[in-house]
Amino acid sequence: VLARERKGGFVPLSMTMGRTDSDHFFAVFRDLSPIKRSETELLNARRSAERATSAKTDALARISREIREPLNTIIGFASVMIEERFGSLVNDRYAAYLKDIRAAGERAIAVLDDIVSISGIETGQTQLKLVSQNLNDMVEQCVGALQPQANRERVIIRTSLARTLPQVLADTQ
């Protein structure tokens, strides 16, 4: 790599030499300024994206902590009331409502956990542990986890997968 002086600094150049015939040579000079400028812009964009991702991760962690505390309180009070520790509930509807409140709080915490996990994966702070999994088993587990809620809402969940699906690599956490 060569450099040629230009007003305001040096210009990076590349040079290619060749032979045209037995007695003559040629040289081609190419200005590398646009390439160097692109490299610098790309590096700056990458640094900016990394700072933005880090800020997003920090914000998510703070939001998660701020939301998790009141949700845990709501879930705890709902559990105490469901167990009727301080006396019976007069109406059975209240027990059903409290179970719904507790389940909604637990789902919200699970969503927060998933968001924080995804953010950790994006930033490289969390490493996936990929293992061979049976896709049919995974779908059955997911349906099994969602079935009680679906039953409460009178929703029917049906699946139709081929029994001979190949194994997949997945992180089950």
Residue 8 is predicted with a pLDDT of 64
Half-sphere exposure (Cβ direction) of 7: Cα atoms closer than 13 Å: 0
DSSP state of 156: -
Q: Which of 113, 127, 108 is nearest to 60 (CA)?
A: 113
Q: Indicate the average pLDDT of the chain.
A: 86
Taking only the tens place, the pLDDT of each residue in 61-79 is 888 889 999 999 999 999 9
pLDDT in tens, 101-112: 999 999 999 988
Predicted local confidence at residue 45, as pLDDT: 95
The mean pLDDT value for 11-37 works out to 84
- CB atoms near residue 119 (< 10 Å): 19
Share of the chain above pLDDT 90, in %: 25
What does the alpha-carbon distance between residue 133 and residue 168 come to, in Å, rounded to a whole number? 5
Are 138 and 144 contacting, i.e. CB atoms less than 8 angstroms apart? no
Q: Is 100 in contact with 135 (CB distance < 8 Å)?
A: no
In degrees, rounded to 5, the angle at the alpha carbon of residue 77 between the alpha carbons of residues 66 and 79 is: 115
pLDDT of residue 4 exceeding 70, the answer is no
Residues in the chain, total: 173
112, 114, 120, 121: CA torsion to nearest 10 = -160
Instruction: Kindly report, residue by residue over 91-102, the tens digit of the pLDDT.
Output: 888 988 999 999
pLDDT of residue 33: 82
**Residue 127, burial from CB neighbour count under 10 angstroms (0-12, 13-18, 19+):** exposed
pLDDT of residue 2: 58
Please give the DSSP secondary-structure letter assigned to residue 165: P
Q: Report helix, strand or coil for 10.
A: strand
pLDDT range class, residue 46, cuts 50, 70, 90: very high
How do residues 119-169 score in pLDDT, each as one tens digit? 877 777 777 888 998 888 888 888 988 888 889 889 999 888 888 888 888
- Local confidence band at 6 (pLDDT 50, 70, 90 cut-offs): low
Cα 59 to Cα 52: distance, rounded to the nearest angstrom: 10
User: Which pair of structure tokens corresponds to residue 72?
Assistant: 């845990």
